[in-house]
Structure 1
Amino acid sequence: MNKKGLLVTTMLALTVAGCSTSKDGDKPSGTTGTGSSTTAPKNVTLKIGLPGAYDVTKKEIIDGFAAKYPNIKVEVQDAPWGDFVAKIATQIAGGTTPDVWLQENAVILGYGKRGVAEDLSAYIKRDLKDADYISGLYAAKTPEGKVWGVPHGINPIALAYNKKAFADAGAALPNDNWTFNDLIEASKKLTKNGSDGKPAFYGFVGSTSITQGWFPWIKQAGGQALDSTLTKSMFTDPKTVTGLKQLADGIKQGYFTNTDFLKANGGEVQAFATGKAAMYFLQYSNQVTMNKSFPDADWDVVKIPKAVDGKRYVPMVTNSWLISSKASQDVKDAAWQFLKYYLGDEAQKIVAESGASLPVKKSALQILETSSGKPQNKKAFTDGIAEGGTTLDENASWNEWRTAAQPIINDIFSSNISAEEGVKQINEKVQAVLDKNK
């Protein structure tokens, strides 16, 4: 691992089958008039940026790319995630970025709007088959049809449950037909008070974060944060308010955990893993911590409960790869060849086996579903996103509007303000951010 604050460049002799330049201005190079791939690649140097280094992107993938394709010399630029993010801002300003790198999906959307990222829609149309991938392939797609990146990995949520807690309570285990009302009623029955009369064991972890907290609650109630164009705030929608109130009521009335309890018990994952709460909206990546730090915990997962409309909405967090719009066309072609390899069977199998995120290729998901280790029911994640995977209403200003909304949402869950009054303030702040970023 590199020392913090340093960006290390490692030279690897890699090769890649790429494409020759095309005179068609609206198509990626190496295409005919019908969009089919044609010629062999040119010799170029490709700079690949890896925030988090090989802890985030498996070295086997880079090595596999090197072994398979002999024409591209690759410079791997890696650093701890925070150092990389700080460095990339300076590189963008100076025009010295890597040719292809990954960051949070919302950041990638912002880069696309600023002209930093290449639109990959034509490349995808030419070389990939939609039927081979889950809908998360288009996590970085805008309402206008631009695609500013492709997934590095998908991190959805499912409903995790503590088997012992249900057995002790004589309660039926959760199943895929549960609704959010079923979750609420089970939480009430499972919650137990201590000798002081206060809850010592909770039915459900009442997370206040966006992914495992308020976003799935508003979606299941029929609400949304933004409209379909991602330009209008929808926080004052009565259905959005209903979802927020359901979560807030659970925290206030004591059958969902509160912030103080979670702080005293090591946070959300630890509170669930150590048997202080019976259920939790677990992100897929959290299973790595569960298996490593709490191997004796007896737990499994089912799909996130169904919404009021009978459908299922499964929030998923995505990191995405982008190609620099400033690279030469030959380098863009080489970068896309790398991303095609990353989205292919060989690399997607490695992503699946890492346990840190889900692949987007369906064939790799099928491999994952038969793997051993907890959770046993991995199909709760894979089938869940196939049925109802959804991003977090991400747009180019996602980080900004989410940051504006979260303190007021926290006040709602702390009972410092009513949901009805809070959403008015949220709506005003979020809409101001959206209008500023039009």
Structure 2
Amino acid sequence: MKRKYVGLVAVAALALPLAACSSSSNAGGTDSSGNTVVNWSVWAGSEAETAAWKHVADLVHEKDPKITVKLQTAAWPDYWTKLPTQLAGSGAPCIAGLQMARVQQFANYFKTLDSSTLGTAKIATSDFDPSIIKALQSKGEQKAIPYDLGPYMVFYNKDAFKAAGLAAPQNGWTVDEFLTDAKKLTTGGKYGFAASNQIDALNQWGPTIGGDQAATAGGKLNLTSAGQVKTMKWYAGLVSTEKVAAPLATDSSDGTQFLGGNAAMYVTGPWDMINAKTQAKFDVGVVTLPAGDNGVTTAVGGSGFGITNKCSNIPAAEKALSVITGPEALGYLGEQGRAFPARTAEQSTWYKSAVDGAQSTLEAALKNGVPYRSTPTWTQVGLSYSQGAISVINGDGSAKSFLDGVESSSGQ
């Protein structure tokens, strides 16, 4: 999942263009060595993430020297804005990343992975967490094979807590405790929390603050509910009223404020452990989201990879898919901190490489977590939300009027 499911720092030099191939070369073309080329598109937000995906791509060639996987990456928000045009045109990749929140939107562009396809690829869905397997289905048809899943958690700067004379937060802490700590951590031009203008924030905090998410279980927008209005008012108040988070000036979908040491807490998922380990110059801890009126709960997401309908060499794609979602690949991603593996047998690899206390936090968050909810037009809704949320979060505008406007303009 990023997105983030949330990527962190965008690395332009390593983000290859998504539309870098034609329909004749997305799978079935050959490289200079005569190997079949399979183009694979996925999001990446840092050098470490890109290197991890490159390693997984190279595993395919190791397993089958006749196949070369060409990796194409883009930063999280760019990936989703470009993907619709790419999949509808001649530049579709053969294999593409698909997040559970966007399955319904893109389902028609992906091949159904039926029993015959899975059998040929030697992929057994029983080897994966059943919740994320189901989440990557559309109308009962499997559209992608998962590589990860995970709940949102609070990543925090242990050094900052110690310097402020604060005890480390414990799983099950409350919103009041969170605010008390955030206020003490806000000093000397640094803040206690890093806020975001992304709609993900409503699904991160909505279950514990307002008791719902930005979408219903049936896939309808839910922005005008009393719970969502309550959640956004509270969230915006962290910036405009409590002043424990910096005012937003531009897009804030990444964790640069946290990783740079300018904000002591940040909400993200297990997929960002790789960036915390490679970029933070301080000790990182993780804890559950604080409990609001509805207890300790948050959304749980996940992502996977599917074969696009434009793929011209299905057998090669099936072989590649079996490797990039296989035990070795997911075990490696777990070790790197890029994924809490969707394969249940490999999940311990993330625990072994993550920061101290991460296992108990993730398990606690999973226990009370609820599935991440979205709509068939989630990308468009998210873009509309992010464009207008900055001013509201900064205190210039009504949360209710803003949410009413986003939902009204969506046509749902």
TM range (shorter): 0.7 to 0.9
Correspondence for 1:74 = 67
TM-superposed deviation, 1:59 = 4.5
8 Å CA contact 2:40, 2:70 repeated in 1:
yes
TM-superposed deviation, 1:368 = 2.0
8 Å CA contact 1:58, 1:350 repeated in 2:
no
1:358 to 327, 340, 348: 340
Alignment of 1:215-230 (within 5 A): 215-220=203-208, 221-230=210-219
For 1:427 and 1:68, how far apart are their aligned partners in 2? 48
1:166 and 2:146 correspond: no
Q: Which runs of 5+ in 2 are unaligned?
A: 1-12
8 Å CA contact 2:391, 2:397 repeated in 1:
yes
Q: Which runs of 5+ in 1 are unaligned?
A: 15-44, 195-199
1:378 and 2:358 correspond: yes
Alignment of 1:241-280 (within 5 A): 241-260=229-248, 269-280=255-266
Alignment of 1:383-422 (within 5 A): 383=363, 386-388=366-368, 392-422=372-402
Alignment of 1:313-324 (within 5 A): 313-316=298-301, 318=303, 320-324=304-308
* Counterparts in 2 of 1:129 and 1:356: CA distance versus 1, 3 Å: closer
8 Å CA contact 1:218, 1:241 repeated in 2:
no
* CA root-mean-square deviation: 3.9
Correspondence for 1:47 = 38
* Counterparts in 2 of 1:128 and 1:167: CA distance versus 1, 3 Å: same
Alignment of 1:14-33 (within 5 A): none
For 1:303 and 1:11, how far apart are their aligned partners in 2? 50
1:213-246 deviations in Å (ceiling 9; x for gaps): 333122222022111111x221111111111111
TM-superposed deviation, 1:188 = 3.3
1:226-284 deviations in Å (ceiling 9; x for gaps): 11111x22111111111111111221123421235x87xx9974433454333221444
* Larger mean Cα displacement after TM superposition, 102-111 or 154-163: 102-111
1:283-313 deviations in Å (ceiling 9; x for gaps): 4444434433433x12311223345333521
| Residues paired across the two proteins, number | 379
TM-superposed deviation, 1:118 = 1.5
For 2:253 and 2:382, how far apart are their aligned partners in 1? 22
Larger gyration radius, structure 1 or structure 2: 1
Letter of the structure 1 residue corresponding to residue 109 of structure 2: V
Higher relative contact order (CA 8 A, sep 6+): 2
Correspondence for 1:120 = 113
For 2:242 and 2:61, how far apart are their aligned partners in 1? 55
1:308 and 2:297 correspond: no
Letter of the structure 2 residue corresponding to residue 165 of structure 1: A
Correspondence for 1:239 = 227
Letter of the structure 1 residue corresponding to residue 309 of structure 2: S
1:204 and 2:184 correspond: no
8 Å CA contact 1:214, 1:243 repeated in 2:
yes
Match of 2:109, SS? coil
* Counterparts in 2 of 1:123 and 1:402: CA distance versus 1, 3 Å: farther
Correspondence for 1:325 = 309
Correspondence for 2:10 = none
8 Å CA contact 1:49, 1:98 repeated in 2:
yes
Correspondence for 1:35 = none
For 2:205 and 2:97, how far apart are their aligned partners in 1? 29
8 Å CA contact 2:93, 2:310 repeated in 1:
no
For 1:325 and 1:185, how far apart are their aligned partners in 2? 52
What TM-score results when the alignment is normalised by the length of structure 1? 0.71
TM-superposed deviation, 1:424 = 1.9
Correspondence for 1:37 = none
TM-superposed deviation, 1:52 = 6.9
For 1:169 and 1:2, how far apart are their aligned partners in 2? 38
* Larger mean Cα displacement after TM superposition, 241-250 or 147-156: 147-156
1:303-353 deviations in Å (ceiling 9; x for gaps): 2334533352145463x311133558xx54653444333333222112212
8 Å CA contact 2:207, 2:294 repeated in 1:
no
Match of 2:141, SS? coil
Correspondence for 1:32 = none
* Counterparts in 2 of 1:206 and 1:286: CA distance versus 1, 3 Å: same
* Counterparts in 2 of 1:89 and 1:307: CA distance versus 1, 3 Å: same
Match of 1:410, SS? helix
* Counterparts in 2 of 1:348 and 1:294: CA distance versus 1, 3 Å: closer
Percent of pairs with identical residues: 20
